[in-house]
A and B are shown apart, each in its own frame.
Chain A
């Protein structure tokens, strides 16, 4: 059974006629990274906040891990769900360790367990343990958001809600934290609902994209599928789905080789540039073009595993457009 089941979830704010979220139904599997994407006012944040009942739904039902979200008190529910917000929301009067310890303390963990957990989490988000006694203000924006992430993960919740967590960071820091989040997710397999209006961020992070407009779901599918077959012009415009480079950045060299059967193998000599299976096809294309359009060898663990030429990239692109996973 799906981990989150939303059944005609609706929220109408007092004094408004149009619902902010209108009979939205969807299911999210355990361990899935779902990004809620849409223009401001589309209802994505409202939807997110109904999951931890910061907003109470006007109508509809929400099951988390088979349990109705209303079957327990809101505070009890929230302690089981990690929550990260844009401006970090760190408590300025508490040290980093006290910030991280908040939910474990609410859950009445013993001191020893909390201490061990703080170290573990600082390691996980790659902050030095010497930061324990510092105050949030003494940290950079990126470091603060790492603490925000550690704090949300503190009680090891199965579900994480993230409301534009990287929205206030500069592009470089944001990219680094996105990588970090993906790395952590590969290790922890949380179920994540992540709100953003940044299309590149959404494409980069999501297992599946939940695209919303005026309180309804427009499309809910993998980034590649959404890009290849946008449900309508709204989605096409939102994602600039015609942007070939954007799609190439979602495919890897390994993807291209996998569908290409046995091509001829170039031998990599020292002078020549090589590609790795993990490189994106966007990166590969740039390097191929830079090399004058000639094929480049792909090397993995010192072994030559194939080659990428302009037509390999082109066929990978057509393949993903026409043969979609369902």
Chain B
């Protein structure tokens, strides 16, 4: 086991430039997918929370979409978008939208109706209620959704290599093709570490925000 890790480390030392290029690519594609999914999921979640009837439908629909495996999404978009970074980005974005959307929806719905009524009764406009009351109160839940999405995206971005999207997955596909476990580890270990870092940092942020709201408790 130790030998295997040492071998993997040697491989990494010998292929540093390729490794860092792949890592950058991996992070870039993950961040882009995450950013797009927030840009889409957040407003959609807010809208769904405000439109009680249709909103529940939309949420259920996206909840069901989560059940489609990411690898399937990846291969499903390929006939339309070909190979390379774009289809990988699309697949990862589709994967990340549901957790952001559902968490936004849940966070918005959890805001005490009395608080919103008071805000309205005091003369806040709909926009002021959203920015000053609803979003701050929903923020811990939203960050929780982003956390789930980030971990999923970082882990799944490995699959991008299957359709030529690059990223740390290239070491895994190469190692698999060459029956070389140490090359696979050069891809797998950094991905696991990145996912763990996202989980821990966003989790910490979520707890901080939540305790800020619960000041006394």
Residues of A within 8 A of B214 (CB): 137
B111 shortest CB reach to chain A, Å: 9
Taking a contact as CB atoms under 8 Å apart, the answer to whether A54 and B120 are in contact is yes
Residue of B114, B117, B123, B212 contacting most chain A CB atoms (<10 Å): B123
Q: Which of B116-130 contact A (CB under 8 A)?
A: 117-125, 128
Residues of B within 8 A of A103 (CB): 122-123
Taking a contact as CB atoms under 8 Å apart, the answer to whether A137 and B217 are in contact is yes
B216: interface (CB < 8 Å): yes
B112: interface (CB < 8 Å): yes
In the complex, A293→B121 CA distance in Å?
A: 53
Taking a contact as CB atoms under 8 Å apart, the answer to whether B216 and A137 are in contact is yes
Residues of A within 8 A of B123 (CB): 75-80, 103, 106
Q: Is the interface of B mostly helix, strand, loop or mixed?
A: helix
In the complex, A93→B140 CA distance in Å?
A: 12
A220: interface (CB < 8 Å): no
B137: interface (CB < 8 Å): yes
Q: Which of A185-202 contact B (CB under 8 A)?
A: none
Taking a contact as CB atoms under 8 Å apart, the answer to whether B114 and A92 are in contact is no
Which residue of A is nearest B116, CB measured?
A89
Residue of B115, B122, B124 contacting most chain A CB atoms (<10 Å): B122
Q: Which of B172-217 contact A (CB under 8 A)?
A: 212-217
A85: interface (CB < 8 Å): yes
Q: Contacts A89-B115, A90-B115, A93-B136 hold; do A83 and B121 have CB atoms under 8 A apart? A: yes
Residue of A54, A75, A161 contacting most chain B CB atoms (<10 Å): A75
Taking a contact as CB atoms under 8 Å apart, the answer to whether B122 and A106 are in contact is yes
Binary contact readout A52-91 vs B (1 if CB under 8 angstroms, 0 otherwise): 1010000000000000000000011111100101111111
Taking a contact as CB atoms under 8 Å apart, the answer to whether A89 and B118 are in contact is yes
Taking a contact as CB atoms under 8 Å apart, the answer to whether A78 and B122 are in contact is yes
Taking a contact as CB atoms under 8 Å apart, the answer to whether A87 and B215 are in contact is no
Bin the interface of chain B by size: 20 to 34
Taking a contact as CB atoms under 8 Å apart, the answer to whether A78 and B120 are in contact is yes
Taking a contact as CB atoms under 8 Å apart, the answer to whether A92 and B117 are in contact is no
A138: interface (CB < 8 Å): yes
Which residue of A is nearest B139, CB measured?
A93
> Which of A90, A106, A135 is in CB contact (< 8 Å) with B124?
A106
In the complex, A319→B121 CA distance in Å?
A: 44
Residues of B within 8 A of A85 (CB): 114, 117-118, 121
B35: interface (CB < 8 Å): no
Taking a contact as CB atoms under 8 Å apart, the answer to whether A54 and B115 are in contact is no
A28: interface (CB < 8 Å): no
B57 shortest CB reach to chain A, Å: 21
In the complex, A88→B117 CA distance in Å?
A: 10
In the complex, A75→B125 CA distance in Å?
A: 6
The 3 closest A-B pairs by CB, nearest first: A89-B118, A79-B123, A78-B123
Q: What 10 new A-B contacts, CB under 8 Å, besides A89-B117, A92-B112, A106-B128?
A: A54-B121, A76-B123, A78-B122, A83-B121, A85-B121, A92-B213, A135-B215, A135-B216, A137-B215, A152-B122
| Sample (18) of A-B pairs whose CB atoms are under 8 Å apart | A75-B124, A75-B125, A77-B123, A78-B121, A80-B123, A83-B122, A85-B118, A88-B114, A89-B114, A89-B115, A91-B115, A93-B136, A102-B124, A103-B122, A103-B123, A106-B123, A134-B215, A134-B216
